[in-house]
Structure 1
Amino acid sequence: MNTPVPARVSLAEVTPPIALGPLDGRYRGAVASLVDHLSEAALNRERLHVEVEWLITLCNGADGVPGPVVPGAPRLTDDEVAYLRAIPASFGAEEIAELKAIERETVHDVKAVEYFVKRRIAAAPERLGATSLPAASELVHFACTSEDVNNLSYALMVAGAVRDVWLPAASALTEQVAGLAREHKAVPMLSRTHGQPATPTTLGKELAVLAHRLRRQVERVRGAEFLGKINGATGTYGAHVVAVPGVDWPAVSRAFVEGLGLVWNPLTTQIESHDWQAEVYADVARFNRILHNLCTDVWTYISLGFFTQIPVAGATGSSTMPHKVNPIRFENAEANLEMSCALLDTLSATLVTSRLQRDLTDSTTQRNIGPAFGHGLLAIDNVARGLKALAANAELMAKDLDENWEVLGEPVQSAMRAASVAGVPGMDNPYERLKELTRGRRVDAARMREFVAGLGLPDDVAARLAELTPAAYTGLAEQLVDEYLA
């Protein structure tokens, strides 16, 4: 007899709605700050902002552009300007729902924004009493194509996300790595090149390399340009000059775009070319890849025992092996950095190409800017948490160094070369002689010192090498951290 399978609850109909992806579900707490900048609601808020500021410019002018720009447009009072600017500022849950309802009718997102603004203008007399705002209603979206509004909105969104969210998080993490580098600048550690024992360094110096690399990318992103345009359906100001001839429309466009805090792009098709976006995303992706390198290195140091992880009270490392403290923060970060880079690379490659004067591939692509930054921000959060839970095991690193005296073959043969150039006899074939002594075999302290003593080096050189140990053979590592992570 078959037991009937009960019907499952439809998770798609559960309220409140269940997130489809992890960024809006499991990990929302780490990335919620991006919602203010890169969500659909944030896009519509910036669209409202652009529409309102364009209307104000057409009526009142802008820096270096006297108003009204359009003859007959009313000169707006301070109260009227404040009323208009309150439209995007007060854009919340009710307004989001209202705009969605309008869009269901228009089946066009930017047109819905235009109608939303016009509704507010029509309602202005109820709030302001006598007002000239209704007379300016037809200047909403004047001479604009949707892309005039969209390109500026995305530029403002990305600029805000980078400056207010990504840069503070990336900078803080970079300085956290730099702090660890300074803390451990004098802790000697055996290097591993190709996975094999190599010239000693310090733990701090190796972390400093990563901090220095991350800092450089942070500064590149900090200096990014965010471009915008407002020049009509094919970038010719065609509608502008027919409707209102005699106005220096490029000057108006430049003043408006720069007034938004963006860099003016004077020459475009219907779309702003998005090259600046590709540049920003490439730099952020490069930061991600360097951070990924940090994750794999730290993971390896943990596996070697050079770093120990401080257990979190109550946490479980493995469902079956209770002794384990897994480096989950760094593994989680690796995966999220790879997801972020995949999206950023796609954005960079897709956005710089548009068929002739316009196609809509960029519209869908740009809606994934949020997840691209979200996965990266989540990774930064994980790495920061992971680094806080690390402790350096200097004792184990010292033991590792003491078991690998063969790494002193490099300084010994280098000293022999220098002595040979200075005219000391018996210094022939230094590399080959050290290779014969050390390659593929372990050499202890006694054997290395015996070899050095028999070379016939000048007394001062022989004494210097006799005192040298793997732990002391770290060159200028400590000084490099001090000088270049100041």
Structure 2
Amino acid sequence: MNDHDNYQSPLASRYASREMRGLFSARHRALQWRRLWIALAEAEQELGLAISDEQLDELRRTADQIDFDAVAEHERRLRHDVMAHVHAWGDVAPSGRAILHLGATSCYVTDNGDLVILRDALELVRRQVVSVVRSLADFAKAHRAVPILGLTHYQPAQATTVGKRACLWIQDLLGDLEDIDHALGHLRFRGVKGTTGTQASFMELFGGDHAKVRALDERVTEKLGFERRFAVTGQTYPRKLDFRVCQVLSSIAQSAHKFASDLRLSAGRREMEEPFEQGQIGSSAMPWKRNPMRSERICALARFVMANLDNLAQTAAQQWFERTLDDSANRRLALPEMFLATDAILALYQNVAQGLVVHEAVVDARLREELPFLASEALMMEAVAAGGDRQDVHEALRLHARAASEAIHRGEPNPLVGRLRADPSFASVAGRIDELLDPKRFVGRAPEQVDEFLAEEVEPVLARFASIETVAAEIHV
């Protein structure tokens, strides 16, 4: 059957990048297992076991020769995936076959291999987050002083700036970068621990020499590029590590969902929107539609990632004693799919961040429509400063504002400014109302906050990752 006759995960076929798909591919996983078997054999030889250079050379020479059809045939017979790989490799490396997997349990390759993949996947995610931060920082700088109506409870509040709003999105991602660094810094290798974590098999191999068994654990850890390993394990590394790693993915999904939700709401107000390509169709039935497809997909995939975190919590909680196998099938689904979904989210986020569109005329019109209400206190203070009675001015403003709201609810333009100009209580400021309603008077320190945030918080992070190149994110569909 061809691919169209089989179910395929949309994450692999539609959304995730080639690089992330490659990290979780069957070939890459098998190659990590072979790296681990070679590292184990090398360290065992270095510590005195009877393993020849010829055996090691044969394993190194054939490490990339993976016959997946042979693996499948062995697994049908053996009903064991790891041993199927051992036998398939042994078929093409007969001298190395004798020392393959010596003293090891299946989790030596499966768990340690997963840890290598998780480490590399986290580093890829970090590169993607940095790229998004860089794009959003450019956007925030360019729009640092563009006034926009701020919303609380999705109701008009006070003015802010487009750049300041973007800084809120960036701040979430900076927290995610801290979480990634923490996760990578605390990621440990399972190491060489044996069947139930006691290293008993290796004690047999090395004649009860504790120092050599400890050295074996240390050397394999170093060969795979890890600085730390678990001091104690059962048969597996603690499944809470999966949860801790994927907490980071959930956090990124939350940040992206917040951004995409804000943009979807902005698109509905016609203030801001994601890039919309020349030939893109927004709706099959409504030709004028400009649906925020990318942002909606971000939210959809983010919901998937956030929901899956509970799955890993349940798996960690339900491990029995030294190990139970009900984690295996679950992790084969949850870990790759959470990473692939996060990868897709960040590709979309980067694509949108690089092409964000601000319709400044609409932004200005929306703000000016509400500004007479937002400026009420400032107008009152000016009228009082010109000699008016504070309580009389306040009451006049209250009545005019109420009448203006009723007019707006009837579908009429906001009449508040006209009513104030005609009211004797505001005669002293009538000629200055346009000046007093300049939107830039109401954004506070927002532009300066953008400058300070970018200089003090964002630029040091981007300088640290200056070697990460920002490229245009590819969106497949």
1:386 is aligned, of 340, 352, 356, to 352
Greater helix proportion: 2
The answer to whether structure 1 residue 187 and structure 2 residue 187 are counterparts is no
From the superposition, tell whether residues 395 and 287 of structure 1 become closer, same or farther in structure 2 (CA, over 3 Å): same
From the superposition, tell whether residues 192 and 449 of structure 1 become closer, same or farther in structure 2 (CA, over 3 Å): farther
1:388-427 matches, within 5 Å, as 388-404=354-370, 405-409=372-376
- Counterparts of 1:346 and 1:414, CA distance in 2: 57
From the superposition, tell whether residues 228 and 475 of structure 1 become closer, same or farther in structure 2 (CA, over 3 Å): same
The answer to whether structure 1 residue 20 and structure 2 residue 8 are counterparts is yes
- Counterparts of 2:392 and 2:281, CA distance in 1: 57
1:2-151 matches, within 5 Å, as 13-14=1-2, 18-25=6-13, 27=14, 30-60=16-46, 67-68=47-48, 70=49, 73-74=50-51, 76=53, 81=56, 83-88=58-63, 90-91=64-65, 95-122=67-94, 134=95, 137-151=97-111
1:210-359 matches, within 5 Å, as 210-224=169-183, 225-229=186-190, 230-244=192-206, 245-248=208-211, 249-262=213-226, 263-308=228-273, 311-359=276-324
1:464 shift after superposition? 12
1:236 shift after superposition? 1.3
- Counterparts of 1:254 and 1:477, CA distance in 2: 53
What does the per-residue CA deviation read over 1:6-62, in whole Å, with 9 as the maximum and x for residues that have no partner?
xxxxxxx4467544332233x06x4332232112332222112111111111012xx
- Counterparts of 1:397 and 1:275, CA distance in 2: 47
CA RMSD of aligned residues (A): 3.5
1:198 shift after superposition? 0.6
Q: Which moved more, 1:146-155 or 1:250-259?
A: 250-259
8 A contact 1:258–1:264 mirrored in 2: no
From the superposition, tell whether residues 425 and 218 of structure 1 become closer, same or farther in structure 2 (CA, over 3 Å): same
From the superposition, tell whether residues 278 and 81 of structure 1 become closer, same or farther in structure 2 (CA, over 3 Å): same
1:411 shift after superposition? 5.7
1:131 matched residue in structure 2: none
1:119 shift after superposition? 3.4
The aligned amino acid for 1:256 is V
Q: Which moved more, 1:230-239 or 1:244-253?
A: 244-253
1:216 shift after superposition? 1.8
8 A contact 2:125–2:343 mirrored in 1: yes
Q: Secondary structure at the match of 1:485?
A: helix
Q: Secondary structure at the match of 2:53?
A: coil
Q: Secondary structure at the match of 2:375?
A: helix
The answer to whether structure 1 residue 480 and structure 2 residue 442 are counterparts is no
1:125 matched residue in structure 2: none
Q: Which moved more, 1:153-162 or 1:384-393?
A: 384-393
8 A contact 1:235–1:270 mirrored in 2: yes
Q: Secondary structure at the match of 2:10?
A: coil
8 A contact 2:272–2:356 mirrored in 1: yes
1:318 shift after superposition? 1.3
1:345 shift after superposition? 3.4
- Counterparts of 2:139 and 2:275, CA distance in 1: 16
- Counterparts of 2:38 and 2:59, CA distance in 1: 6
Q: Secondary structure at the match of 2:323?
A: coil
The one of the two structures with greater contact order (alpha-carbon pairs below 8 A, sep at least 6) is 2
Identity of aligned residues (%): 21
- Counterparts of 1:143 and 1:431, CA distance in 2: 85
Q: Secondary structure at the match of 1:139?
A: coil
From the superposition, tell whether residues 117 and 53 of structure 1 become closer, same or farther in structure 2 (CA, over 3 Å): farther
What does the per-residue CA deviation read over 1:294-328, in whole Å, with 9 as the maximum and x for residues that have no partner?
00100111110112555422222111211112111
8 A contact 1:210–1:294 mirrored in 2: yes
The aligned amino acid for 1:193 is T
1:357 shift after superposition? 1.3
1:180 shift after superposition? 1.5
Q: Secondary structure at the match of 1:24?
A: helix
Q: Secondary structure at the match of 1:227?
A: coil
Give ranges in structure 2 of 5+ residues lacking alignment: 406-413, 456-477
From the superposition, tell whether residues 465 and 252 of structure 1 become closer, same or farther in structure 2 (CA, over 3 Å): farther
From the superposition, tell whether residues 265 and 310 of structure 1 become closer, same or farther in structure 2 (CA, over 3 Å): closer
